Amino acid sequence: MNGDRYMRVAGATMGALALVATTAFATPDINSAVLKLSHFNDCPTSTITAVNNYPALISVEDHDVLGACFGWANLHAWSFSTDGTTAAEFANNSAFSFSATMTIDNLGSDPTDGTEAGLRIAPWWSPYSDGRVNARLPDGEIACFGGRLPFYTFTGQHGILLTENNPITIEMIYSPNGLSNASPGTVVYNVTYNSNSYTSGPLAFDQGNPAEDPPYGLWGILNQARVGGFMQGPNGSGPDNHLKVTWTNIQFVNDKPTSTENTTWGKVKSLYR
């Protein structure tokens, strides 16, 4: 796998080991997920019910019986984690894929109430709301946009429209490649819906802001990205907004595992001379 690699000595006390290893900067070792509820909180009277049984199931239900939304929307997110407490931060040169099967239900009295939900690779400046593979009700549009992500529309390219209570499987695959103009990072969006599979193919990232490198990098997702899913709603105007999003069969694959290379202790000592 191409990309910048940061090497460190996997240390030991002098004379205690005959061999040591040099270790490549690794994609986070994901073992859990954490919830970020009410990141947008424009319907503060709503009742929120959330379940986190990662990786089998995550669900968020938002019920505002009064319709007392003074702003735009509520937004809830979940993120992959290495400790079950904090959202993992992904480096620009991480390599990974992840997927989930998602269902959106409108349980309220108004079938026109809007909901947006999906998966995300969100940038450092907007870690919970941007960088979306976004499925939307009631019109059914499925599109990819925001943050650092290249734009793509499954509705425009393939003519597919999401319907309520109909599962959709979404996958995102990030490859850093050379993180350069000649070899930018790429992302692939894959969707399986109504037993048919669709793909964007590899889409290249553009250049990030050179003034922000360092510390964030260029030509990819940028350092300190967060990865997971989101639900935005209720953002309708009906009197009984009641929406639920469920993600099942959540999978995360580390495509850039830590690599090791044996070397002698004498070679390690030479690095400090």
Residue scoring higher pLDDT (261 or 107): 107
At residue 241 the predicted structure's pLDDT band, cuts being 50, 70 and 90, is: confident
**Model pLDDT for residues 255-267, shown as the tens digit of each residue:** 975 444 443 434 3
Q: How many CB atoms lie within 10 A of CB 237?
A: 12
Return the structure tokens found at 52. Answer: 């986190």
**Model pLDDT for residues 21-66, shown as the tens digit of each residue:** 323 457 999 999 999 998 877 777 788 999 999 999 999 998 875 5
Query: Does residue 268 have a pLDDT over 60?
Result: no
222 vs 209: CA distance, rounded Å: 10
Query: Does residue 13 have a pLDDT over 70?
Result: no
- The residue-averaged pLDDT of 5-12 equals 29
Query: Does residue 195 have a pLDDT over 80?
Result: yes
Please tell me the predicted confidence (pLDDT) of residue 271: 40
- The residue-averaged pLDDT of 75-103 equals 97
**Model pLDDT for residues 198-235, shown as the tens digit of each residue:** 999 999 999 999 999 999 999 999 999 999 999 998 65
273 vs 132: CA distance, rounded Å: 49
Please tell me the predicted confidence (pLDDT) of residue 24: 44
Please tell me the predicted confidence (pLDDT) of residue 106: 87
Please tell me the predicted confidence (pLDDT) of residue 233: 81
Please tell me the predicted confidence (pLDDT) of residue 113: 76
The DSSP line for 208-255 is --GGGTTTS-SSSS-TTBEEEEEEE---S--S-EEEEEEEEEEEEEES
**Model pLDDT for residues 161-172, shown as the tens digit of each residue:** 999 999 999 999
Q: Where along the chain do the CATH 2.60.120 domains lie?
A: 27-256
At residue 67 the predicted structure's pLDDT band, cuts being 50, 70 and 90, is: low
Lowest mean pLDDT among 5-19, 108-122, 207-221: 5-19
At residue 154 the predicted structure's pLDDT band, cuts being 50, 70 and 90, is: very high
61 vs 244: CA distance, rounded Å: 4
Beta bridge partners of residue 76, listed in sequence order:
231
Please tell me the predicted confidence (pLDDT) of residue 71: 67
Average pLDDT, the chain: 84
At residue 239 the predicted structure's pLDDT band, cuts being 50, 70 and 90, is: low
Q: If residue 189 lies in a helix (H) or strand (E), which one and from where to where?
A: strand 186-193
Query: Does residue 146 have a pLDDT over 70?
Result: yes
Contact 104, 243 (CB under 8 A): yes
Query: Does residue 105 have a pLDDT over 90?
Result: yes
Residue 100 C-alpha from the chain's centroid = 11
Return the structure tokens found at 211. Answer: 């003034």
Question: CATH: 3.40.50, 2.60.120, 3.40.720, 3.30.70. Which one for 27-256?
Answer: 2.60.120
Query: Does residue 78 have a pLDDT over 80?
Result: yes
Beta bridge partners of residue 32, listed in sequence order:
81
